[in-house]
Structure 1
Amino acid sequence: MAIRAIILVEGHRSIGLLYVNAAERLGLCPITLSADPTQYDYLAAEGIQAIRVDTSNLDALIRECSRLRETYDIAGITGFSGLDESVPATIGKLCRHFDLPGPNPASIERCHDKFVQHQILAEAGVPRPACHLAANATEVKSSAAEIGLPVVVKPAVGSGSSGVRLCRNADELTEHTYYLLGENQTSLSSPRILVEEFAQGPHYSIEIMGNDVFGISAADFGNKPHFVGLEYTYPAVLTDDEHRRITDVSLSCLRALDLGWGPTNIDLRWTRLGPVVIECNPRLAGGTSPQLAQAAYGVDLITEHIKLVIGGEWDLRKRHSQIAAARILIPDCDGILDWIHGDGEAAAVPGVAEVKLYVVPKTPIVRKGDFRDSVGYIIAASPDLAQTRSILERAVDLIDWSITPFE
């Protein structure tokens, strides 16, 4: 009998290993297809089969999966964005080709380009910040003038807050515009830059599974002008009216974008006008979101997602109810990491669910102003918000490191 396998297209820094482990617990053999498998350290460390293939090329993926089917019983295909943000839609097409469960690729493509997504949501009446598309510095400047500073300037395609910056004055606007234009020089396509009204207010992240809102977390970002998550609380503390309005606007996004298969993550801010949607992503959120859901509710969203991918049914019943919180560890300077310790002591604090470090001594630290700035995280949980925060602070105080700045 052929071994049942699950194909993971590309990997993921924070949740890739969780998918691998969950697949193995379900009796599946995880096989990763990646344009560059070496960028995912856990593949070699865990001895996971990884095959180098152009994951932006649908035909190349079909050929590789067809070859693997000669040896394995491929039960399902899923994956992550990797080096190419078009990969999720390609995965949907791959599932269609092999008649496997998966999302509608056309729906995924609607979310791929943030300006296209903005237009669809705006036409459906979903509250959104004002947003213009620009292709050069002149258009960025005129768009910002029309919207009014401060504005958020970011690539039309991307994830993890890469290239996203709050521009509060003309100098910051010019600096970041030319940074994005310079980044685009390696691409053959014309630059697509979004200039967006800065929606001010608390930030919330909504996890939707299928057609139901599973959980809502509150996010606290570090110092502007970048949007690097510093702390997350799950579930968010909301009034009944706030919860209802956030749920309603989130489900309206789902209908407008024709989503509803598998997980969807929605980011929004609560402004003086109520909930305003920043963006929708047809996937589980990365970072600490799945671990927070498990700590808060006892549900392993990654395992349940894989069950759906291989044609089963998920079980999203909440086993318990706690308040979970995560602190993201962010260095305050660039340089060479001399040492980092305290993770063992932090993990031993009662109420700490997980401590994870991404770095080891002698690692170069170069902050990018996005998800890559994190050197680790701590998650704590308890029945009470104040208690959870107290546990988290105690554990964070035990982590220490030294960085020698670059000459």
Structure 2
Amino acid sequence: MPFSSPHVVSLGCRLNLAESETIRSLLTGRDTVVVNSCAVTNEAVKQTRQAIRRARRERPDAELVVTGCAAQIDPQAFAAMPEVDRVIGNAEKLRADAWAPGEAVVVQDIMAVRDTAPHLAASFSTHARAFVEVQNGCDHRCTFCAIPFGRGNSRSVGAGAVIDRVTELAERHAEVVLTGVDLTSYGHDLPGKPSLGQLVERVLRHVPQLRRLRLSSLDGIEIDDRLFDLLTQESRVMPHVHLSLQAGDDMVLKRMKRRHGRAQSVALVERLKAARPDIAIGADLIAGFPTEDEAMFANSLALIDDCDVVHAHIFPYSPRAGTPAARMPQVQPDVVKARAAKLRAAAERRRSAWLQSLVGSTQEILVERPGDRGHAGNFAEVRHGPSEVGAIVRLKIERVENGKLMGVDA
């Protein structure tokens, strides 16, 4: 018997998660499974293939469509999989006409795309928080990254459209996340070149009913004074900054073609913590980048403490075809794996100490499914007694248990 509702498997970033909601709304009533893929690493592409095979086993009679960055970069490889019925590109996946019966591969040149829009469903039925796409694509060419070839060049959504979408979502969601591929590049392509800080100011001013605003990953070098002040002084902006650090060694950063140095990252975090002591720092870090020696790795390892990273995303480097880093002298895979493990262990120690420091504090928690857990403003996960999903509750933190905070009504 066919299923009456679509199923969307979302892999990778928060932007994919946001776009998956739109896809789900476009496919209402259809027996379709969509794998919204990620291409940030070779492991992510492998996980995409695994998700496709698992989806086919679980719903053998459904139409199976692959979209997302991995599908955009290598559509023919996914079209060749026997489990796959159709492949749809990143630019097309948010258009209703692309989902009508048609060609097996619908993928255009992503570099030719010049606009974007907050193509999101009016409500995020399966999530306590909602996501709004305000920017897509990336104009930078970090030597390790294939994502620009999956997302195209940077393009921004006008503030009016963003405010309209946030207003809609704030009726049902206490927290909204502004997201993008290169979020801090927001606005350079719009009339007047508004900054991300200006956008945040306008959202807060025009949507007073919005209780919590969170930002996805930021490039620290582009945090200007306006955005800094909002991150540290505005109570409705959550005390949680996730930085795209990638490494803690200047030579590695130069070879990555990043635009910041180690000292700039450390200084930024020191300023953030001085202005808002409860702010929590997250970061992306890559282990085993080509040419990385032990001294270079030691600098990245020390960055976890130097930048007080409590929400770490650790990626073992993997060469992506067509990127400059893939042609550089590679670190041995076993060394890459060992260094990633050391970074994760250091990050876990830092996180554990931070969680313990929160015991005895009172936190406001956004309740998430199934109703007995949620995240504080600093994005610490908290377990608690049953509450209404989507509500914000005040909890006193009693203890840490299995890496999670345990809270009771304050």
Decide: shared fold, TM above 0.5.
no
Q: Tell which has more relative contact order, 1 or 2 (C-alpha 8 A, sep 6+).
A: 1
TM-score (norm 2): 0.29
TM-score (norm 1): 0.30
Name the one with the larger strand percent: 1
